[in-house]
């Protein structure tokens, strides 16, 4: 992880404390008004989504370029899988073998882009109940918005373009969202059988009772098929006798 990424994560954590501290009090008051108590699960979900949003925004936008930052030589990269060539170039530059590819800065940046969108895929499946196709579209749309923000220098608010519009980032971010959705779907699928086993091992319910006017309640007996047949056939027999 580079110094810039560490700095961005630090600002993201600071932003999370400020934003979540602002949201916590209204959420607690709202829960007391609606439910009469605090719901820790909902507070934890709000905290998780807020933390992810703050860290993602910080990693994407920070650190901002300083007054002496030189302009980028390239601002747009439209060649798919260019990261493979960049890894080879980085290995050749430092005279490293191919086995060191996972330790290159290019690969670490690619992994960071994938991991950045994994929580988004998890939220899409667990919280928003979205399918795989919609999650892919959501990840691609969010990544496209980020790349457009970067290539426009944060919509003109930054002094210059300091991030590259990279098609590989679109692909890696979208793949991360899909991986997060798959992980969440597997978790839900594995949790289903465990719930079924736990419910099957629970104690059987007490037989139903019906109250009577006097004495103890007696157990309701199921109607036998023979009695039910006689009850159905009896009106027909009366008509036949008439």
Taking only the tens place, the pLDDT of each residue in 71-96 is 898 999 999 999 999 999 999 999 99
pLDDT of residue 37 exceeding 60, the answer is: yes
pLDDT at 191: 85
Q: Tell me how far apart the alpha carbons of residues 181 and 126 are, in angstroms, rounded to a whole number.
A: 8
pLDDT at 130: 95
Q: What is the mean pLDDT of residues 114-120?
A: 96
pLDDT of residue 11 exceeding 90, the answer is: yes
| Torsion sign over Cα 211, 212, 218, 220 | negative
Instruction: Kindly provide the residue ranges of all beta strands, DSSP E only, lying in the chain, ordered along the sequence.
Output: 76-77, 165-166, 209-210, 218-219
pLDDT of residue 241 exceeding 60, the answer is: no
Pairing of strands 76-77, 209-210: unpaired
Q: Tell me how far apart the alpha carbons of residues 59 and 81 are, in angstroms, rounded to a whole number.
A: 22
pLDDT at 231: 45
Phi/psi region, residue 119 (left: phi>0; alpha: psi -120 to 50; beta: rest), is: alpha
Taking only the tens place, the pLDDT of each residue in 157-193 is 998 999 999 999 999 999 999 999 999 999 999 987 6
pLDDT of residue 230 exceeding 60, the answer is: no
pLDDT at 77: 94
Cβ pair 176, 115 in contact under 8 A: yes
What is the average pLDDT value for the chain, to the nearest integer?
A: 84
Structure tokens at 120: 């988004």
Taking only the tens place, the pLDDT of each residue in 41-67 is 999 999 999 999 999 999 999 888 888
pLDDT band, very low/low/confident/very high, at 203 (cuts 50, 70, 90): low
Tell me how many degrees the CA angle 94-98-102 measures, rounded to the nearest 5. 85
Q: Tell me how far apart the alpha carbons of residues 17 and 45 are, in angstroms, rounded to a whole number.
A: 15
Task: State how far the alpha carbon of 133 is from the alpha carbons of 27, 124, 182, in Å.
Answer: 32, 11, 11
pTM to 2 decimal places: 0.78
Q: What is the mean pLDDT of residues 8-18?
A: 94
pLDDT at 239: 44
pLDDT of residue 9 exceeding 70, the answer is: yes
Structure tokens at 12: 């993201």
């Amino acid at each position: 992880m580079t110094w810039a990424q560490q700095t961005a994560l630090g600002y993201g954590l600071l932003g999370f404390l400020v934003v979540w501290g602002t949201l916590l009090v209204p959420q607690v008051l709202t829960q007391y008004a609606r439910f009469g108590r605090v719901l820790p699960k909902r507070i934890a979900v709000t905290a998780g989504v807020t933390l992810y949003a703050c860290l993602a925004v910080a990693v994407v936008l920070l650190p901002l370029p300083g007054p002496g930052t030189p302009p980028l030589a390239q601002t747009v990269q439209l060649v798919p899988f260019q990261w493979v060539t960049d890894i080879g170039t980085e290995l050749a530059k430092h005279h490293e073998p191919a086995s060191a590819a996972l330790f290159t800065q290019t690969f670490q940046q690619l992994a960071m882009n994938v991991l950045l969108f994994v929580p988004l895929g998890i939220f899409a499946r667990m919280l928003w109940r979205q399918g795989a196709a919609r999650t892919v579209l959501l990840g691609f749309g969010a990544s496209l918005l980020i790349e457009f923000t970067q290539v426009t220098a944060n919509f003109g608010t930054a002094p210059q373009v300091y991030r590259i519009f990279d098609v590989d980032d679109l692909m890696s971010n979208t793949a991360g969202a899909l991986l997060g959705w798959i992980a969440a779907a597997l978790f839900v699928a594995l949790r289903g059988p465990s719930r079924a086993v736990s419910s099957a091992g629970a104690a059987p319910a007490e037989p139903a009772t019906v109250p009577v006017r006097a004495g103890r309640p007696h157990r309701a007996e199921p109607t036998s098929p023979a009695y039910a047949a006689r009850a159905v056939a009896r009106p027909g027999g009366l008509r036949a006798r008439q």
